[in-house]
Amino acid sequence: MKVLLLGGTSESRALADRLIDCESLTVVTSLAGRVRDPLLPAGEFRIGGFGGAEGLATWIRDTHITAIVDATHPFAANISRNAEIAAEATHVPLVVLRRPQWAPEPGDTWLTASSTAEAAALVATWADRALLTIGRQGVDEFAHLDQTWFLIRSIDPPSGSLPRNHKLFLERGPFELESEIETMRRFRIDTLVTKNSGGAMTSAKIVAARALGVPVIMIQRPPTSNGPLVAGSVDDVELWLRSLR
């Protein structure tokens, strides 16, 4: 069995770690190549796009892939759509590993936005000092907001233009609760802007906002297809792969 593992997440690395010792199973993790110094998975990997759904289907055929696991980030909608199309075209079974979303708790103030642009519109009316943790992409949607000061945190420098009043923090998670609280206090953050990525690696900022009573502008996940099978954990994906053997 040869598995294509579409990666770029901590779950994909955990799955690669798990599968590396499985007999009669080879895993190739695929990374987009977005970050300069990616965390590499155990075992075989490749880096770079495939050239759309068609290119992915060709790669799957040429590489004799027999199962596909889409363990990409919940906001990476294009590669997930391509994986679904390519799986159908090649008749290779596909499972999507999807981490649960974060949810508000009683007392939390969450303003939900359906896009980065909508989040920027909310910031304009709401925030004086925002912690912006949406990754490298989409920060330019906030560039026109001259009245808000931003602490922008991402692994690599954001692409495109940045807001006039900002400080850039280039850091990679996981983040601890204490340091998140200390960051929000030190920079007098009054609003957290984030994507509903889910997962434990970066959830401390949500807990810190809760502890400090800081409102959250939460960008909702892009809509998902009802097509592919969805697994909620690395264990479930492993079981699914065993069922295919």
Long-range Cβ contacts of 54-59 (<8 Å, 24+ apart):
54/86, 54/89, 56/82, 56/83, 56/85, 56/86, 57/85, 57/86, 57/89, 57/90
Closest CA to 130 of 155, 111, 154, 149: 149
Contact flag: residue 132 with ligand NAP (CB under 6 A): no
Q: Which two tokens stand for residue 220?
A: 């909702």
Contact flag: residue 75 with ligand NAP (CB under 6 A): yes
Binding to ligand NAP (CB under 6 A) within 162-221 occurs at: 195
Tell me the C-alpha to C-alpha distance, in Å, between residue 101 and each of 30, 131, 147.
24, 20, 31
Q: Check: CB of residue 171 under 8 Å from CB of residue 201.
A: no
Contact flag: residue 32 with ligand NAP (CB under 6 A): yes
Which residue, judged by CB position, is nearest to ligand NAP in the bound state?
49
Contact flag: residue 41 with ligand NAP (CB under 6 A): no
Closer residue to ligand NAP in complex, CB, 34/129: 34
Contact flag: residue 228 with ligand NAP (CB under 6 A): no
Q: Check: CB of residue 141 under 8 Å from CB of residue 162.
A: no
Residue of 13, 41, 98, 135 interacting with ligand NAP (CB under 6 A): 135
- The C-alpha angle 173, 179, 182, rounded to 5 degrees, equals 140
Residue of 66, 82, 133, 183 interacting with ligand NAP (CB under 6 A): 82
Residue of 3, 15, 19, 79 interacting with ligand NAP (CB under 6 A): 79
- Least separation, in Å, of the C-beta of 62 and ligand NAP? 14
- Least separation, in Å, of the C-beta of 55 and ligand NAP? 6
Q: Check: CB of residue 30 under 8 Å from CB of residue 83.
A: no
Residues that bind ligand NAP (CB under 6 A): 6-9, 30-32, 34, 49-52, 55-56, 72-73, 75-79, 82, 135, 195
